[in-house]
Structure 1
Amino acid sequence: MKRAVVVIISLIVLFMHPDPGFTQSAHKLEKLKIVIIRHGEKPPQGDNLNCQGLNRAMQLPAVIYAKFGIPDYVYVPELGLGESTQHARMFQTVLPLAAKYNLTVNTVHQERDSVQVAADFKAKKGTILMVWEHKAIASIVRSLGVDDKNLRWPDSDFDSIWIITFPKGVPTLTKDKQGLKPSADCHF
């Protein structure tokens, strides 16, 4: 008799929560915050930051720390080696923050690997800082589950911050600004 009651209660609980994994996943995602910025300003030609972009990179640690604390993870696209280092700007942008707080910069993903990037991020908890190429950001945000067909990062915008959180497991995008106006001069 006792065994029958336990079985019945177990079945009731099972049918009330048809996907117990979802509840655990949603709870884990609630502890995830993804902070997305674009690399700093760039010259018309070349793979590096210009002086304004470098000055932005030097000011970013204070902004990121004030708004989000020290990130648990930092990601930039795979750098690439050889004569062309197209993703150097993202690494250069985050380098002052990484140096100041002794952070590892993860370069494992290709710029357009939106599905793999999203899967990697969803397996984590804490704060992730992603510094990426602006034309590839919307695809990653959609792969994270944000349902917005009009996502676009303007070519002239180096100051935006996109933040994805997961209240009750639902991806939610909010937007903020760094509030920086870095000098275009190189004083070094």
Structure 2
Amino acid sequence: MRRLILTALVSLFALNAAQSTAAAASSTQTVIFVRHGEKPEAGLGQLSCRGLNRSLKLPAVIAKQFGKPSAIFAPNPSEEKDDKGETYAYVRPLATVEPTAIALGLPVDTRFGFEDIDKLEEALEAPAYRNATVLVGWEHKQIVKLVRNIVKENGGDKHDVPKWSGDDFDSIYVLRITRDGEKTDVQFERRNQGLNHLPETCPL
């Protein structure tokens, strides 16, 4: 009888250990992509007043829809970009997510230039983010390239990711990547901030 009880206990512990290991191996990463806010007619690498108003409203949108992210990424603002025929430091994406970083008490990772999406993708694959929510503020065409790459590399259909219209500053592209051992599943979703039609005048 003792042997039977001991055997049953060993089996139960082994089952619990296996289930715990399986649970630990399974993770879901949520990556939120937002485009920079509206820009002025002259470009300047900057936000317009409407874009600034969007950036100030964005923290509440992110917190309500996704909770507090674990990390925030934006392009290196010192890297220059052609903007309306002139070259400027590209600060627009960072300016868009900076109020969110301030409101939520987070740093912004700006290690990569706006075209260095391969390096950004590699950073997003870090173990620290495997079970986390990450916010990325970037240039819209580069967002589409990156999201399609991630979807394809994780077994999804990159054609599920639509083009991002040039006059659309309100969309949110969301990726949920579930990893369970060697199995990976990726889900794409398009949401909205609901922040169109904000004032064109800057807050005083």
Give the TM-score normalised by structure 1.
0.79
Partner of 2:143: 137
Q: Given that residues 49 and 89 in structure 1 are in contact (C-alpha distance below 8 angstroms), is that contact kept between their aligned partners in structure 2?
A: yes
Amino acid at match of 2:164: W
| Aligned-residue RMSD, C-alpha | 2.2
Partners of 2:79 and 2:145 lie apart in 1 by 25
CA contact (8 A) 2:149 2:158 kept: no
Asked whether the 8 Å contact 2:71–2:107 carries over to 1, the reply is: yes
Q: Which residue, out of 116, 119, 136, partners 2:119?
A: 116
- Does the 8 Å contact 2:170/2:192 carry over to 1? yes
Q: Which amino acid aligns with 1:32?
A: Q
Which structure 2 residues correspond to residues 143-158 of structure 1 after superposition, within 5 A? 143-146=149-152, 147-149=157-159, 151-158=162-169
What is the correspondence of 1:20-59 to structure 2 with a 5 Å cutoff? 27=26, 30-45=27-42, 46-59=44-57
Q: Deviations over 1:10-63 (max 9, x none)?
A: xxxxxxxxxxxxx99973xx3210000000000121111001000000100100
> 1:107: Cα distance to partner?
0.4
Name the residue aligned to 2:202.
186
| Amino acid in the other structure paired with 2:158 | D
1:103 aligns with 2:101: no
Unpaired stretches in structure 1, ≥5 consecutive residues: 1-22
Map Cα deviations across residues 68-119 of structure 1 (whole Å, 9 max, x no partner).
1111010001111688212x01111111111112111000112122222112
> TM-score with structure 2 length normalisation?
0.73
Give the Cα–Cα distance (whole angstroms) in 1 for the partners of residues 96 and 76 of structure 2: 14
Distance 2:79 2:122 in 1: 25
Match for residue 172 of structure 2? 161
Q: Which has the higher strand share?
A: 2
Q: CA 1:26–1:41 in structure 2 vs 1: closer, same or farther (change >3 Å)?
A: farther
The 8 Å contact of residues 114 and 143 in structure 1, kept in 2 or not, is answered as: no
Paired residue for 1:170?
Answer: 185
Q: What is the rounded CA distance, in whole Å, between the counterparts of 1:172 and 1:98 in structure 2?
A: 26
Q: How many residues align?
A: 163
Match of 2:88 among 84, 87, 90: 84
Q: Which AA in structure 1 matches 2:135? A: L
Segments of 4+ moved more than 3 angstroms: 23-26
The change in CA–CA distance for 1:73 and 1:187 in structure 2 (over 3 A counts) is closer
SS of corresponding position for 2:137: strand
Gapped regions of structure 2 (runs ≥ 5): 1-21, 81-86
C-alpha distance in structure 2 between counterparts of 1:142 and 1:132, whole Å? 15
The share of aligned pairs that are identical, in percent, is 32
